[in-house]
Each structure stands twice: as structure tokens, then as C-alpha cells.
Chain A
């Protein structure tokens, strides 16, 4: 158990941008929501999952909808009280703690605001360990947990509880309601007991996020090593490529942004070429025709000077980037995990090989 305040939020937001693996939405607005809540209501208690009793009710918090709408309407502030009332009434039980469902991107921040405003602890865990594009892509699905009953509210106070037959229906119905409510809503989903949490959650992911963010913030304070050395040491990341963006190909299909970014090697990679394919998040990295990393491992693009993570919508010709590979959570590497989020699910014709094996000779 420890407290997280404003300086921790700054670090977590930056770490969450890296864990977004190109997607998850820019955590900036989320960060302001979290900072405002903590400034008004005080720091948040962060619990280790092991500190949560087996029968305690743990509730993940997230936003659904268009990031551009979130950028105008943000969060009202009363949504968390509304969600608390709906969920505790539905289950006939008090909520013990909140948690994020997606540690990458903007959804890393909103549970902090919820915990601060409701005076509840936040559990240091999530269901992805990164960002993913679809609702069912959480470790709890492996544990047989359903996304519903799911509670939804908008800033005006409209509220709905969904009880659906499949997660696909949940997506469809929730999307329709989200549009009617003005395009951006707050939700509670995958409500669970402490026992399930301890079995299936990705533990200590908020602490990892904070550590990553702090490392990037402080890269230039370490004088013994170059910022590049410090970055790869601190993140335990694999350097997959260093290059200049040559081309960005984009296509919108359904609710997703598909695309490919083509890179031309610079520095020690001069004369070589690479590309990264994405569907909201980065999916596959390929250097000189050879795959060097795939989902569910994290493929992140960071600026070569500032090491700030770059989201797929900010990709632009001429930007200099490192392609960085980070190991995913172990459970994603099981057969069931790969069925949900393996490369073949995303239409990539390749088997999953862990990033540390793809990169010959281990860390570069």
C-alpha cells in the first residue's frame, strides 16, 4: 500500500503512453482529469492485488467513445459517484476498490480520478498490460469472466446497465448508447471479486508504468550513460530498429485505423529498412523482410531525441524513431491468450514467437 499524488500521475501518464504501443489514445486529457481529482480530493491509495480480500468487489473503470469528443467534454466529475451507486446497488455490495482495465493510453488515468473522487483505493493491476483495440482482449476473458453486467453513464447523469449474451453484443449496444449520449461515456466492466483478480490480473502494472515514465523523464539526469543506453536499460526494451519515417499508409475500416509505417535506417541501421503495421496499436515490426516482433508483445515507436512515445495518429514523414520491443504479460503467451490477441487473430500470417527469441542473441 502506498499513496500516489500529482508527480506520480505525471510519470504514470508518460509510462502509459509507452504501454499504449501506438494506441490507447493520448493520456493528456486523462492526466488533467486525474490531477484535478487528486488536487481536489487528495492522493490515492494504491493497493497491491495481494492486499485485496478474496470476496471484495473490485471494479475496473474506463472511458468509451471518440477521443476528440473526450477532448471537448472531458469528464464531468460526478460520473464516478453514479457508477459507484449503480454497481453497488446491482451487486448489493459495497465497492472495495477501483482499477484500470487498460494500462496503456488514456484509460490508465481515469481510474485514478475515480479512486480520488470516491475516496476508494486503486488496485495496482489491469487486464491488458498495454492497450488493445477490442473489449474482450483482457486476461479476464481467459478466466471465463464476461464484460457484463456493464454499467455506463454520461456526464449528464444518464445511466444504463448492460446484460448481454456475448461480448460482441456488448460492443454493439454500448457503441449505440455512447453515440446517443454524445460520443464519450464512462463505464465499469469486468466487475470481479478479489479471488479472480489475484488469479488473472496483470499485477503491478501501474507501478511498472510509473517506473517507465520516471525513467523517460529522467533520461538526461544519468550522466554515466547516454540517454539511449539509459532508456533501453530502464525499460528492459529490445532495440528493433532506428530509422526515419519514409511513408505512412492509412486506412479506416469499421471503428479501427489500419496502416503501415515505412522506415529507412539511420545511425547503425543505415542502409537497412523496416516497417511496422498497426490496427490502432502496433501489431508487427519487420526489418529487412524479417519479422522481429509481433503482438501481443509491445511494439512501440519513440522519438530518438526525447524518447517520447509516438501514437499511430501522430506518425509523420521525416520523424526519427526507435522501434522498441517490450515483453508482454506471460498469460498472453499461452494458447488461450494467443487465441485472443495472437498475431493470427489480427490477420498476420505468422506464429507467435516471443520477442526475446526473435531478436537473436537476446538484448541488442
Chain B
């Protein structure tokens, strides 16, 4: 059986087929058009023709998409929703969406703050006001497509959130889409609530892209494939999970390229530079997974705090426009010819000097018609390459955690513009199939399982409790489709809850393993 990995980028939709030994069988790039399904259909069609494999032999299909980010930034296809915050009398001084742009606020039909919530040590701040919650759900029933529920310190205890969700289902029907903040964000009520509200608003978008993807595949005769979506921690979600937590797909692109780079280079710790047509993303790979960002991530002007890969983006890509100023200095980007590189760049017969033209002029790569760039002055080309190196080296330095040199992996179609030596890099690797690393990352993603429980360490010693919880997490990952031998514990968290008797801790374990074929 084969795995099909797809990554929908701004310029290209990439598709790869990998076999049971995780070897790349075929890779293609197809322009991303206005309707992403045309792009997906095009890429899948091409790769099926190129590889000539039997369509029924594709057992898994993974999609990495930026649809959610685009929907929020462009304010398109967002669903009407209701927001319930539990925690009064705390936090009433900041109602939900206080600093949101007016046009985005319109997605919220009704909002309410009710009594409940917890203190930082797990003590109840106020009892949950079930009556008001029920009245609110009655009021919004039939008017909204999703409900976002947040609660003060739900990261410490989530009972009030879960109880409210239960009441919501009783009143609004079991099929109502519900987002609870404790499952989406971390500490910081406002940011966590923001992420939860956005998640609710994305429920329609998620439905469209999951169903659209399934339909595209079915239309091409790929009918045996189980469908998965990439999320931003390098693991996969099933269709059902993606429908519940669409926001977790945001920023899966850089994550996929880091995972793909790790797979292709067989390195576990390195800095990954992914050069596209217009921009370059830099991310840190730690034990094969992306390092998470420690600062608030802003999406479409909304401050959130859910986990995001720590990525630095700079305005440099294969299509970056190269210019000489009157004083003789040379600039590269930040503007780019983007997906029109195949008509605009000199080597393709166009009239614009791009970073790719410079790389071809300097003999770093063979592409297009070399004679078209022979006329570029070598001094000018060298100056431009110096600018490119400096842009990347500065960014590389900003992403490092200390001043010691790191291993660097170059991926992405535009990475041909980068030199083989970079200051601050111990080694620079450009693996085979570097151009489709993100689609490969999507195809080789792991599946995970999370186990969470309150444990009293006085009754069960910590060591024993953690070992038990780890076993449970592994079972959940295996149930989700992971191959048992490959499952590893990727996250261990225990938070002491001082208010509880004894030494009660909230234990949370995440395990991930390779998806069977």
C-alpha cells in the first residue's frame, strides 16, 4: 500500500507518493489555482499518471492546507457562533473579543459571561451557574452553527467547561459543533478564548475542505484511502478530529517541511530553511519535531496562545526581484514575481531579474535557458548573492538558541538560490526530493494519543503513576492507527493541584507513532 501526501501552498500544490518503506516513489508540483480543489485534483491526477500505480493501492492520504489561516485573514466562510465564558466574578472586566477588529467580531451572534471557574491551585472560584448557561443555549439554539466555551483556569481543571458542553448538547442537539478552550489553548484566558472562538468560526471551512478532499480523491478513483489532515505539531488528525479542531491545522506547512526535512536528511536536531517562491521560513528541529513558539501568535489580527511552531519568515524566495539602486547597492526582495516566475524570470524568457536568475548566472544550478542570464554583470550577481547570504545568515542567527554553529537543512523549491556555505552553519545539507519536503512531511506524519488524569501521588507514587499513564497514552495512539513498535512518548506534563487532598497532580501524556500502511 502507498501513502499520498499533499501540501497546498500559496504558489504550488505538491503531491508525493511514498511506499511502505517510506521511500519516495513519485513527486509532482502543480500550480495552486483559485479553487484549491482544482490544484489538488491536478496534482493527484499528475502523480497517478507519473507513477502508474494502481489507485486502489493508496491506503492513506494526508492533506496539509492553509485554508484555515486564509479564511480568518480574508474573513471568508466563517460560521455564525455563540460564545460562553465561565468564570464570573473573575475576568468580567474584559469581555470576550475586546480588541478584535469590528468586521471579525460580527461572526459572534451572542455572548455571555456566567459564574464558575477555578483558582490556579484547582480550588473552585465560583460554582458553575448551570441555569444561566441553559437559558443562553436556549436563546442561541437554531441561530448559530457552533458554540465556543471558555473558563477561567480550565487548563488546571476542565470540569466546568465539560459540564457546560454537556448542557449545550442536551439543549442544542448532539450534533452541534462545540469548542472548549482547555482542549485548544494554554495559560492566558484572553488568548486561549480567542483561539477557541476562531476554532468555532472555522467549523464550516473545516467541513468544506475535509469533504472536498474526500470528494476529489473519490472522483479520481482513490477510494481505499483513509483520510488524514496535518496539524501543526507534526502529527495527524482524522477527519473527525479536524472537524472538531480545525484551528490546529494552522501553520502546519512549516511543521511539515521540518518533519519532511528530518525524514530526508536523517537528522533529528537541525535548523530547517524552507525557501518558497516569495518567502523563506526558518524553523528549529528538535528530536525530529518543530520547536514550539513561546510568544503569543497573532492570526488575522487576533492574539492567541495555542501551540505553534516557532517560525521566522523573511521576504526572500526564488522569485524575489533583484534591483540595483542609484548608489550601486543591490537589493533582493521583499517583493517577488511569485507563481509567475515561469514567465517573468530571465531564464524563462521574461524581463525581471529574480534571485533564481542570479543563482543560474553564478552556475549554482542548471535551470531554464542559461544564455539569457549570461549578460548579467558578474560583480552585480556576486553582490546580490552576498545580500541573499546576509538575509539568511541574519535570520539563521536569530533562530539559534546559543552562539554555537548548527546543522542546516535546505528544503523547498526556492532553496536553489542559497549558497552551500552559510555563516553560523556547521553543515549545510540539501537532501534529495528537497523541493517537495512539505508534502513528504505530511505523508510521513505520525498519529498521536493523549491521556489525561488526576492522580494523587500519595496513593500512587509518581514514578508508577507516570508509567501507568504512559502505557495508557501508547494504547490510545495504537488505537488511532499507530504501529505499536514505533510509538514514543513525546510530551509529559504533571501539574500539582495544591487545593486537592494529598499530592494531587494533573498528569497529561502524549504519545505518537508511525501510521501503519
Question: In the assembly, what is the distance between CA of A195 and CA of B274, in Å?
Answer: 64
Q: A76 with B89: in contact, given A36-B98, A244-B397 (CB under 8 Å)? A: yes
Contact with B along A1-41 (1 / 0, CB 8 A): 00000000000000000000000000011011101110100
B119 at the interface (CB under 8 A from A): yes
**A183 and B94 contacting across the interface, CB-CB below 8 Å:** no
Residues on B with beta carbons closer than 8 Å to the beta carbon of A182: 119-120, 123, 125
**B94 and A78 contacting across the interface, CB-CB below 8 Å:** no
B302 at the interface (CB under 8 A from A): no
Q: A77 with B93: in contact, given A72-B153, A182-B119, A318-B398 (CB under 8 Å)? A: yes
Residues on B with beta carbons closer than 8 Å to the beta carbon of A36: 93-95, 98
Residues on B with beta carbons closer than 8 Å to the beta carbon of A31: 99
Question: In the assembly, what is the distance between CA of A183 and CA of B123, in Å?
Answer: 12
Q: A317 with B400: in contact, given A32-B190, A78-B89 (CB under 8 Å)? A: yes
Of A72, A244, A320, the residue contacting B188 (CB under 8 A) is A72
Report B271 CB to chain A, min CB distance, Å. Answer: 12
**B98 and A37 contacting across the interface, CB-CB below 8 Å:** no
**B93 and A72 contacting across the interface, CB-CB below 8 Å:** no
Of A37, A73, A314, the residue contacting B91 (CB under 8 A) is A73
A191 at the interface (CB under 8 A from B): no
Question: In the assembly, what is the distance between CA of A156 and CA of B89, in Å?
Answer: 6
Report A67 CB to chain B, min CB distance, Å. Answer: 10
Report B180 CB to chain A, min CB distance, Å. Answer: 16
Which residues 381-423 of B sit at the A interface, judged by CB distance below 8 A? 397-403
A319 at the interface (CB under 8 A from B): yes
Of A72, A77, A183, A247, the residue contacting B189 (CB under 8 A) is A72
Residues on B with beta carbons closer than 8 Å to the beta carbon of A66: 120
B87: nearest chain-A partner, CB-CB: A73
**B120 and A183 contacting across the interface, CB-CB below 8 Å:** yes
**A74 and B90 contacting across the interface, CB-CB below 8 Å:** yes
Question: In the assembly, what is the distance between CA of A76 and CA of B153, in Å?
Answer: 15
**A29 and B190 contacting across the interface, CB-CB below 8 Å:** yes
Question: In the assembly, what is the distance between CA of A279 and CA of B87, in Å?
Answer: 34
Of A68, A75, A156, A246, the residue contacting B94 (CB under 8 A) is A75
**A76 and B188 contacting across the interface, CB-CB below 8 Å:** no
Residues on B with beta carbons closer than 8 Å to the beta carbon of A348: none
Q: A155 with B89: in contact, given A71-B187, A72-B187 (CB under 8 Å)? A: yes
Residues on A with beta carbons closer than 8 Å to the beta carbon of B99: 31-32, 35
**B120 and A77 contacting across the interface, CB-CB below 8 Å:** no
**A77 and B188 contacting across the interface, CB-CB below 8 Å:** no
Residues on A with beta carbons closer than 8 Å to the beta carbon of B190: 29, 32, 71, 74
Question: In the assembly, what is the distance between CA of A157 and CA of B123, in Å?
Answer: 16
Residues on B with beta carbons closer than 8 Å to the beta carbon of A156: 89-90, 125-126
Q: A75 with B93: in contact, given A36-B98, A246-B403 (CB under 8 Å)? A: yes
Residues on B with beta carbons closer than 8 Å to the beta carbon of A157: 89
Q: A75 with B400: in contact, given A156-B125, A182-B120, A182-B125 (CB under 8 Å)? A: no
B88 at the interface (CB under 8 A from A): yes
B88: nearest chain-A partner, CB-CB: A76
B401: nearest chain-A partner, CB-CB: A317
Q: A71 with B98: in contact, given A76-B89, A157-B89, A183-B119 (CB under 8 Å)? A: no
B152 at the interface (CB under 8 A from A): yes
Interface size on A, residues (CB 8 A): 34
Q: Is the interface of B mostly helix, strand, loop or mixed?
A: loop
B495 at the interface (CB under 8 A from A): no
Residues on A with beta carbons closer than 8 Å to the beta carbon of B94: 29, 32-33, 36, 74-75
Question: In the assembly, what is the distance between CA of A75 and CA of B113, in Å?
Answer: 13
**B120 and A76 contacting across the interface, CB-CB below 8 Å:** no
Q: A35 with B153: in contact, given A183-B120, A314-B295 (CB under 8 Å)? A: no
Of A32, A75, A317, the residue contacting B402 (CB under 8 A) is A317
Question: In the assembly, what is the distance between CA of A72 and CA of B400, in Å?
Answer: 31
A173 at the interface (CB under 8 A from B): no
Report A84 CB to chain B, min CB distance, Å. Answer: 15
Report A76 CB to chain B, min CB distance, Å. Answer: 4
B155: nearest chain-A partner, CB-CB: A72
Question: In the assembly, what is the distance between CA of A76 and CA of B95, in Å?
Answer: 10
B154: nearest chain-A partner, CB-CB: A72
Question: In the assembly, what is the distance between CA of A267 and CA of B99, in Å?
Answer: 37
Report B305 CB to chain A, min CB distance, Å. Answer: 9
Report B93 CB to chain A, min CB distance, Å. Answer: 4
Residues on A with beta carbons closer than 8 Å to the beta carbon of B402: 247, 317
Residues on B with beta carbons closer than 8 Å to the beta carbon of A78: 89, 92
Residues on A with beta carbons closer than 8 Å to the beta carbon of B126: 156
B399: nearest chain-A partner, CB-CB: A318
Residues on B with beta carbons closer than 8 Å to the beta carbon of A68: 120, 187-188
Contact with B along A184-201 (1 / 0, CB 8 A): 000000000000000000
Question: In the assembly, what is the distance between CA of A268 and CA of B120, in Å?
Answer: 47
Question: In the assembly, what is the distance between CA of A76 and CA of B115, in Å?
Answer: 11
Residues on A with beta carbons closer than 8 Å to the beta carbon of B188: 68, 71-72
A113 at the interface (CB under 8 A from B): yes
Question: In the assembly, what is the distance between CA of A74 and CA of B403, in Å?
Answer: 38
B126: nearest chain-A partner, CB-CB: A156
Which residues 54-76 of A sit at the B interface, judged by CB distance below 8 A? 66, 68-69, 71-76
Question: In the assembly, what is the distance between CA of A182 and CA of B91, in Å?
Answer: 13
Residues on B with beta carbons closer than 8 Å to the beta carbon of A33: 93-94
Question: In the assembly, what is the distance between CA of A246 and CA of B401, in Å?
Answer: 9
Question: In the assembly, what is the distance between CA of A145 and CA of B279, in Å?
Answer: 58
Residues on B with beta carbons closer than 8 Å to the beta carbon of A113: 93
Residues on B with beta carbons closer than 8 Å to the beta carbon of A320: 398
Q: A72 with B398: in contact, given A33-B94, A182-B125 (CB under 8 Å)? A: no
B89: nearest chain-A partner, CB-CB: A76
**A76 and B398 contacting across the interface, CB-CB below 8 Å:** no
Of A35, A77, A318, the residue contacting B400 (CB under 8 A) is A318
Residues on B with beta carbons closer than 8 Å to the beta carbon of A32: 94, 98-99, 190
- List residues of chain A with CB under 8 Å of any chain B CB: 28-29, 31-33, 35-37, 39, 66, 68-69, 71-78, 113, 155-157, 182-183, 244, 246-247, 314, 317-320
Give 13 A-B contacts (CB < 8 Å), ordered by A residue. Answer: A28-B303, A33-B93, A35-B99, A36-B93, A72-B153, A73-B90, A73-B91, A74-B90, A78-B89, A155-B91, A182-B119, A183-B120, A319-B398
Minimum-distance CB pairs A-B, first 5: A75-B93, A73-B90, A318-B398, A77-B93, A74-B91
